Amino acid sequence: MPVETDDALREILDLDTIAVVGCSTSPAKAAHDVPKYLIEHGYDVIPVNPFADEIFGRESHDSLSAVDQEIDIVDVFRPSEEVSGIVDAALERSDVEVIWTQLGIRDDTAAERAEQAGTRVVQDRCMKVEHQRLLGSPSE
């Protein structure tokens, strides 16, 4: 079962390094705004976008396999039909603890596969919204 409880979400939000698959260079997109917010709140965000060289002054990687540092969370900003392949790439790594798909993005079969491999899954939730709700200050 995907993570649903506030306690489990808080535990996940306590992790540090987030690879954002589908991170955008366009400030008008949630795939840019959410990772920017996460950086501003102390997370180490690794952009994954094969069409960008750099986002937020950080090297953008072509794929999860191209990331040479450890990843705690894979945050997915790609269509639901691409989640299965992203889950496969995440499971090929030994360091990914959580796969998180943003609002409107879900693949129950891929989520089940990830959970069977011991990876926690959060589906159809925004990290920024959950961070603000659970850890943010009232003024945010």
Per-residue pLDDT of 28-45, as tens digits, reads 999 999 999 999 999 999
Whose CA is closest to 21, among 53, 84, 55, 63?
63
Query: Where do the domains of the chain lie?
Result: 6-134
Q: How does residue 139 score in pLDDT terms, banded at 50, 70 and 90?
A: low
pLDDT on residue 2: 84
Per-residue pLDDT of 4-18, as tens digits, reads 899 999 999 999 999
Q: What is the mean pLDDT of residues 85-96?
A: 98
82 close to 89: Cβ distance less than 8 angstroms: no
d(CA 29, CA 133): 21
d(CA 46, CA 69): 9
pTM, full prediction: 0.95
Per-residue pLDDT of 47-72, as tens digits, reads 999 999 999 999 999 999 999 999 99
- CATH T-level assignment (fold) for domain 6-134: Rossmann fold (3.40.50)
